[in-house]
Amino acid sequence: MADTLLVIEDEDLLAAELARHYESEGWEVVRASRLVEARERLFDQKLEPLVVLSDMSLPDGNALDLLEQARGRSIAGEWILLTGFGTIPDSVRALRLGAYDFLEKPCATERLDLVVAGAARSARAQRRLREQAAHENRRYSPDAFLGRSDAVRGVRDLLRKLADVPFSALVIGGETGTGKGLAARILHYSGPRAGGPLIEVNCSALPEELLESELFGHEAGSFTGAKGRHRGLVEQAQGGTLFLDEIGDLDLGLQAKLLKAIEDRRVRRVGGEREVAIDAQIIAASNRDLGARVRDGGFREDLYHRLCVFRLDLPPLRERKEDLDELVPFVIEEYNAKAGKRVRIISEDIWTKLRAHDWPGNVRELRNVLERCVLFSEDEHLPARWLQLPEASPAALTESVDEGGEWLRLPLDGSMPLDDMEKFILEKVLERCHFNVSAAARALGTTRQTLRYRIQKYGIREKPH
């Protein structure tokens, strides 16, 4: 299907020549000789031209007025304006309204062709971005948070309400794997900032020495290796949403700088001399109790209250196992499509095992288990052998700990999977170190970053005293 070029020109000979030329170039050309005719095409007939090529001064008015009306109605497409006597105020207004170019008559055909081709490329890129955004909007509607339990119905209702209000900040709480990232995407793509970027930052995944530069940016030469200017992630979220996952792991110094940026709506790059205005809504998430972290001195109280304009707590899967009836078929169908499989049948024995498991890793663990089963399936049946769910909870093995010494005893009879062994060891070492990650990392002979990754992987949380 040919792209549409709308030509608005009152000189019949010139309009005919432009139409003939661009039709020979593969365009579908629609002509209008007056603004009233162009308005009818755009507003009444819902014409969606890729490019509009318009004379500036027409018998019934200025084309800039029509451009302003089109922008007000969110009609896409690039505009190229032609004028025989351009003025500075007109050129400034054209630029402000987002016109692609402003050319004086007469314009050489070669020059006009280059400008039209550039406008077409720009318009196609914008069209792809709009289509992608529309797809994300459909994919991440509140209904994407699956489940029929009362708890999930409450979450969906709150997501719908929050998507309708221009909130400045919000905190999402819940255990690892409960869907905090999904909730953040739903809030972004269903809300008024869906047309802007969604910038996601995992605060526990970036080394502390790099996190400030990544968040707030830096100027060239501000530190060794800073060869050029870098726009921070806060700046990159301009007009959209900044999602700060695992914000409870953010250094106290960076918490203070983040609070100032949120309050002032301005940031200063590392090594910079001036502040840059920002406009982004903030969604923060943590699998740790931020209120408890505030009481322990690990999180700033003023930042907590600034972020907690709204709070959304996501329930763990063990408290809503009735949702497995909806989640399991959905996830299996997703992996069927990705892997080219055809799993359709789930035996009652498998359902019993799925419902009996407590899912400490929540929906993320469920997805991993089902992905493994689908990938290793050989027919329409979900294979039970690849569930590999533990028969006993690691919590039942605490009596095997030598509380008085530096040893842990673990069964080697196959009753405890390797992942559960690792999680069990990490929990006990962290408990003995009073959940001091640095001390635990030293005791285990590893780095803080590696230990933080495994804490997140297994959803390990500090138990309240």
Q: Where are the domains of the chain?
A: 4-136, 141-313, 317-386, 395-458
Mean pLDDT over the full length of the chain: 87
Predicted confidence (pLDDT) per residue in 317-338, tens digit: 999 999 999 999 999 999 999 9
Q: Which CATH architecture has domain 4-136?
A: 3-Layer(aba) Sandwich (3.40)
Give the separation between CA 232 and CA 376, rounded to whole angstroms.
42
- Cβ neighbours around 175 below 10 Å, total: 20
pLDDT at position 144 is 92
pLDDT at position 107 is 86
H or E stretch covering 5: strand 4-8
User: Strand, coil or helix: what is 237?
Assistant: coil
Average pLDDT value for residue range 148-171: 94
Question: Would you say 336 and 375 are in contact if contact means Cβ atoms under 8 Å apart?
Answer: no
Average pLDDT value for residue range 22-48: 93
What interhelical angle do 208-216 and 252-264 show, nearest 10?
10
- Binned at pLDDT 50, 70 and 90, residue 398 comes out as very low
Specify whether domain 395-458 bears CATH 3.30.2230.10: no
Specify whether domain 317-386 bears CATH 3.40.50.740: no
Predicted structure pTM score: 0.63
Q: Bridge partners of 456?
A: none
Which CATH number does 141-313 carry? Answer: 3.40.50.300
State how beta strands 198-202 and 266-268 pair.
Answer: unpaired
Do the domains spanning 4-136 and 141-313 agree at the CATH topology level? yes
Predicted confidence (pLDDT) per residue in 407-463, tens digit: 677 766 556 677 778 888 888 888 888 888 888 888 887 887 788 878 888 888 877
Give the separation between CA 201 and CA 216, rounded to whole angstroms.
12
pLDDT at position 274 is 85
DSSP assignment, residue 180?
Answer: H
- Binned at pLDDT 50, 70 and 90, residue 210 comes out as confident
Across 39-43, 233-237, 253-257, 394-398, least confident range: 394-398
Q: Please give the full DSSP string across 340-381, using - where no structure is assigned.
A: T----B--HHHHHHHHH---TTHHHHHHHHHHHHHHT--SSB
pLDDT at 48 over 50: yes
Average pLDDT value for residue range 100-104: 86
First to last CA, the chain: 67
